[in-house]
Structure 1
């Protein structure tokens, strides 16, 4: 070790003293931000706020949700893509950006796969097709039969959204060419027009409609999950109605900028699956009708799912010329 006499001697001789090497502080040693790329109150924000107290407890540091909404989730996602890969900026990644955005937006400012470190899939939610309670369409067959001979309008949360693509697939698979898409700026205005009778139906994630389904103001004709949902056992799946290609879901995941150090990746990948399985979170996920897989896909398995879904939905977008400029 260099003492004061050695340092003075080196200085007198005109020789620079070697720099003192400081050990890097262990991660995390300050607050972590978890970016939610959609506004407060939606599914992404809700899931993020369910996770942060559990993550903070497991990591011994505060975790703060930061809402960075805009451009269908692209703005907040881009913030994370361009952040330092130091473990202090994380993202609730969303299939609406990383899959459906990749399939329909030719000019994303990032690569949805390679510009991120994708660690674990959190939850996934199916889509449903809904009509108002007094609709003459009692079944999915009623609806598509009508759409074979006359216009039947379905609303979605926007051009290039998962509901838009699913509705386009239903039109093709059911040979119902008059199932016409009406895009809205979000699910809420589409629901209002369904309730008012301005459009006949809508396709939407089930998470935003459970209350209306419970109180009977909206009726689901089919769900895109592989099996019927325990909370709504009378709603058939698209698959059992003859449309297996419409089995799909929208997932949320935990991601970070590319180049995240492996020790941080390993720690986050280790703590998140047990958090998802905690009874208090499982109960809330059940209420939201958005559940984690068991076990949740992590690392390369998560990325493989993403790549396959991008390929599948890109083919659908091209088939129906769905492009978001």
Structure 2
């Protein structure tokens, strides 16, 4: 009868080493998280990111740093995030158009919005409104169109 003790001991040591290695891993997050905004500082996305940052910092227990990476309608920021390590320390706050429009206009866009990103949550809904100077005598789109005739 063969003795299988050494093989079992090796398996036990390997299992223990794996378990202790898993326990030794740091919990997320153990360093600041970067929130990338692909639009200009002071714009709507930047303002929303700066409003979210303190609450996210509190909930995550780590500082969330807002970082603007402008250019190419958000493509520079999106590519940076797509190329970053998939560890959750680099997030992106952007408009849906930031990811969709560049890929629709240019098939050589350096990222794929469906493969390179995971949707976490909708943060805000911002309607676009049509306004005019108060001296313009219209109160609706219909009145504006009728006035133009």
Matches of 1:90 and 1:127 in 2, distance apart? Answer: 25
| Corresponding residue for residue 77 of structure 1 | 78
Matches of 1:58 and 1:77 in 2, distance apart? Answer: 25
- The number of aligned residues is 130
1:139 maps to 2:140: yes
Matches of 1:121 and 1:39 in 2, distance apart? Answer: 20
Alignment of 1:15-164 (within 5 A): 22=21, 23-145=24-146
- Structure 1 residues 100 and 135, CA gap change in structure 2 (3 angstroms): farther
TM-score, with structure 1 as normaliser? 0.36
Residue 86 of structure 1: CA displacement?
0.4
SS of the aligned residue for 2:124 comes to strand
**What stretches of structure 1 of length at least 5 have no aligned partner?**
1-17, 150-325
Matches of 2:55 and 2:139 in 1, distance apart? Answer: 43
What is the RMSD computed on CA atoms of the aligned residues? Answer: 2.3
C-alpha distance after superposition, 1:228-269 (max 9, x if no partner)? xxxxxxxxxxxxxxxxxxxxxxxxxxxxxxxxxxxxxxxxxx
Runs of 4+ in 1 over 6 A off after TM superposition: none
SS of the aligned residue for 1:91 comes to strand
Alignment of 1:161-310 (within 5 A): none
- Structure 1 residues 129 and 26, CA gap change in structure 2 (3 angstroms): same
**What stretches of structure 2 of length at least 5 have no aligned partner?**
1-13
The structure where helix makes up a greater share of residues is 2
SS of the aligned residue for 2:54 comes to helix
C-alpha distance after superposition, 1:121-150 (max 9, x if no partner)? 111111111222222544312333456x6x
Matches of 2:103 and 2:127 in 1, distance apart? Answer: 19
The structure where strand makes up a greater share of residues is 1
Residue 27 of structure 1: CA displacement?
1.2
Contact 1:52 1:63 in 2 (8 A): yes
Matches of 1:100 and 1:129 in 2, distance apart? Answer: 22
SS of the aligned residue for 1:126 comes to coil
